Amino acid sequence: MSKIIATAAIRGAHKIVGRAEESLRQALETYGPDAPVAFPNTGYYLPVIYGMTGMVVEKVGDLVPVLERAKALLPPVPSEKVWLPYLGPALDAGMATLFADEIIEAIKYLGTPPYTMTSKPTDDNLWLGAADDVILRKRGIEFVDGTAPGFAAVVGAAPTNEIAVKIARELQEKNLYVFMSAETDGRSFAEQLAEEGVELGWETRLVPFGKDITATVFSLGFAARAAMSFGGVKPGDFRRVLLYNKNRIFAFVIALGYVDDEKYAQAAGAINFGFPTIADTDIPQILPTGICTYEHVVSNVPHDKIVSRAIEVRGLKITVTKVPVPVAYGPAFEGESVRKGDMHVEFGGQRTPAFELVRMRDAAEVEDGKIEVIGPDVDTVPEGGRLPLGIVVDVYGRKMQEDFEPVLERRIHYFINYAQGVWHMGQRDINWLRISKAAFKQGFRLRHFGDILYAKMKSEFASILDRVQVTIYTDEAKVLEMREEARRIYAHRDERLKALSDDTVDTFYSCTLCQSFAPTHVCVVLPERVGLCGSVSWLDAKASYEINPHGCNQPVPKKDVIDPVKGQWQSCNDFIFQNSRGTIERVNFYTIMEYPLTSCGCFEAIIVMLPECNGFMIVNREHAGMTPCGMTFSTLAGMIGGGVQTPGFMGIGKAYLASKKFIIADGGLARIVWMPKDFKEQMRHVLEERAEELGLGRDFLDKIADETVGVTAEEILPFLEEKGHPALTMDPLL
């Protein structure tokens, strides 16, 4: 290993550990040893420390032994005359640096935190700070399913804002997350992007953690939590945490500008995780392989090559289908918004008539690759103008089925949103689209909607589609005519879906996507029960199986009924037993009280028994507060996740609440006695309809307690009694 790098890293580690020692001394004097200390809304405490050592830090005094652990890891600074070129001391110094980073950053949260603690910057603060568990669950799954192939930790600043934007856009186009920290000569990469009007935040995958060099640890903390949350690694099993990251989290450091001792120390910490450093300056290199998959430090890389070189050094394989549009294209732009002042033209959104439709047609009716625009293009309207819009995608395929139409149609939202400067929301005839001024100036026109949909439909659904043809309508009379046809098709689909039930099919479908982090979990998707993540319906799973018969969605035969009320079939038990590695022997689909479906970790909400109220509470992932069962969502998730059966507790998708089969063996919707207020309002419309169907009355939701009533069973019980909640008169749960 390079003597210069090792010496610099060890010097830097001594500086940061010394800084942590001084911060801790001041915190003990100011706040005392019993002051609570934590990163916001996480069950992983200080995640690098927790993952590497298993040490739980809950108060300031708990940081003292952590600091001693960091100091013990520090090797002496090498002398000028004698040097043994061993990698071990530098790696130890790197880990000591990360421990010290977390001490410093945790103490910052004791006073007024310098961070927004939101998912995107505010008007007066660019820095987000540590990601909470809601973000971890939502974003971390993307590293498991391949939606996000990895992340780049960008440290420092580019020579110019223009170079910074080019690097960021290239990383986004590769679908990588960009975690930003530290500065060079007072300038940071995130500040450069913000100055150029680039939208930052988790939604655009450009995440500004903090300007301090110690904020770099938030990137490593995210990686450590991924190992514990999705890899099933136990806290303190440092070897498995590090190996999981080397083998599963494809991350790397891009060091921009002058690399000082503290940055060398951070790089040494990252190398422990198998994350190499690629620099734009002429620093010493570490080219032999060892801890990292390939080289450890590569330097003097030109800015136009730095992203591709970093991907190569990390051993990351990225397949990006080039979509022929004049703007950047990729999932990283899905969360980008186009505000009214930034738009060139908009369509729909109740401002003009609009719709979108996917139709299955006969072979003779579809000319593969044909894209036609009927009506005026966007360059015929003044800036800020409006046009009607109809998008019709006609498809033919030997394996295409009518049931797949809405599955493909929902993908229109994602495919169009992946274009930079193009914004889409809604579907069917309530869609709303905007094209930004910047995208228009780069040449984006209506035909490019067709280019996007043709390329993505053919690439993602190649196994079921042989021909795809796209027609874009902006002539208002034609849009109105075609919208009526679309509405007839929508109505026909709705009637078919209403007729689809658990009782009318002979096959359910599995989803084992999450087995990479919950090896014994087998999600089973029913017509009347959406997947726990909320994003996989029975039709989606069926379509997925047709598209890829060897994928994570497999048919589960429904034969040999054991208990029709609780929903247990022998064939389902056999499938689950085999695919849970012989762990789960039986499952009831319609109760959570006995052999419930296992939970992975990606569920949208959790349902929990409240015996004192003879009912159940439901808490959604977004709710950070306490609940009547005495646990927060994060704590509950940690308890029931990982593929275990936990009677009385179960993860669910939100849409399951409106199902006719919703915990029907336990009493159904009438058993719900508590849910967060915002969640209740979000679900109000569908739950009121379902309550009326059940004879509970449209005012049933107002009988359900929320956090404004109380967060303990004792607090909410008088409210339930006053409102005459039906759960109180039902048969006892226990």
| Contact between residue 536 and residue 600 where contact means Cβ atoms under 8 Å apart | no
Do 270 and 353 lie in one domain? The reply is no
Do 361 and 294 lie in one domain? The reply is no
Q: Residues 456-483: pLDDT tens digits?
A: 998 888 878 888 999 999 999 999 999 9
What CA–CA distance (Å, rounded) separates 200 from 633?
27
Half-sphere exposure at residue 120, Cβ-oriented, CA atoms within 13 angstroms = 14
pLDDT at 343: 96
pLDDT above 90 (res 573): yes
Q: What is the CATH number of the domain that holds 292?
A: 3.40.50.2030
| Contact between residue 133 and residue 638 where contact means Cβ atoms under 8 Å apart | no
Do 541 and 615 lie in one domain? The reply is yes
Domains in the chain, number: 3
Do 280 and 396 lie in one domain? The reply is no
Do 96 and 237 lie in one domain? The reply is yes
Do 389 and 445 lie in one domain? The reply is yes
Least confident of 30-44, 92-106, 315-329, 700-714: 315-329
Given 314, 340, 361, which residue is the final one in a domain?
A: 314
What CA–CA distance (Å, rounded) separates 393 from 184?
49
Q: Does residue 465 belong to any structural domain of this protein? A: yes
Residue 413: in which H helix or E strand, if any? helix 405-417
Given 314, 345, 366, which residue is the final one in a domain?
A: 314
pTM (2 d.p.): 0.71
Q: Does residue 444 belong to any structural domain of this protein? A: yes
Q: Does residue 320 belong to any structural domain of this protein? A: no
Do 101 and 11 lie in one domain? The reply is yes
Q: Does residue 324 belong to any structural domain of this protein? A: no
Q: Does residue 326 belong to any structural domain of this protein? A: no
Q: b or e along 717-732 (b: 16 or more beta carbons within 10 Å of the residue's beta carbon)?
A: bebbeebebbbeeeee
pLDDT above 90 (res 426): no
Do 627 and 653 lie in one domain? The reply is yes
Q: What is the CATH number of the domain that holds 724?
A: 3.40.1470.10
Given 464, 493, 522, which residue is the final one in a domain?
A: 493
pLDDT at 152: 97
Q: Does residue 734 belong to any structural domain of this protein? A: no
Do 508 and 643 lie in one domain? The reply is yes
**Phi, psi at residue 467, to the nearest 5°?**
-140, 140
Do 376 and 291 lie in one domain? The reply is no
Q: Residues 141-159: pLDDT tens digits?
A: 888 777 888 999 999 999 9
Do 444 and 386 lie in one domain? The reply is yes
Mean pLDDT, the chain, integer? 92
**Domain ranges, residue 465:** 331-493
pLDDT above 90 (res 578): yes
Do 156 and 284 lie in one domain? The reply is yes
What does DSSP assign to residue 662? T
Q: Does residue 36 belong to any structural domain of this protein? A: yes
Q: Does residue 679 belong to any structural domain of this protein? A: yes
